[in-house]
Structure 1
């Protein structure tokens, strides 16, 4: 992957990739593998971006697809491949497991279904219901109700962990 492409087209959106990868992993090693695979898939599919959506929306979609695919592969194969460490530019953004309060939130988010994780992450990124629906491939009419139910579940999970 060319460093110019990475610097100009991926690194500005590293926070998006980090949040999504973080929601589908529970340790730094897996997180780094997911992050690298997302970046690789963005690079591989860059020529297929048609501009019908924002670049950030496209990054969300690729990130979610890669994480969901990796998650399924890892469930079926406990002996999974682990990669080398992240590039230095990304590593400074990716100390994903250092903040304990954020860790608790991600533990709760990981207890949601795969699709609910995606919905709440997009909601936390302040995406509109229309954007969320476009990214996950559903109808925007049910996103509001779904978000309300997800929030209720997260509050229950977090409340039960505090007791």
Structure 2
């Protein structure tokens, strides 16, 4: 990984994330025969590491790209992360969620200001619906797991 890119990413998202602790366990180190480190991203804003990628992806968009909002498909953590990150920068978030997504995740998306569009519970339905919204709204698509800005 490019160290310079990682530093730039950290500087970009720093105001939008919590600094989460790294914990260790002597007992688990002994059992595993090595040092084990736990990055406690459960303490991250919205409860998951996905906040980092969502914030970076949105902040990496140009002002013009942000005007149309963002769209993603996710049944949970990335949906909530995009909703919260978009809210913090004043961007509309369209979230495609399968109809059988957990209600707690849907509630989180709504609380963070995301607009939920439900679809069938297939990968094809998610992609089709997200593409449709993207065409209708000019929203920028954020892939939940296969986009450099989300990964770095």
Query: TM-score, normalized by length of structure 1?
Result: 0.28
Higher relative contact order (CA 8 A, sep 6+): 1
Q: Structure 1 or 2: larger helix share?
A: 1
Higher gyration radius (CA): 2
Q: Structure 1 or 2: larger strand share?
A: 2
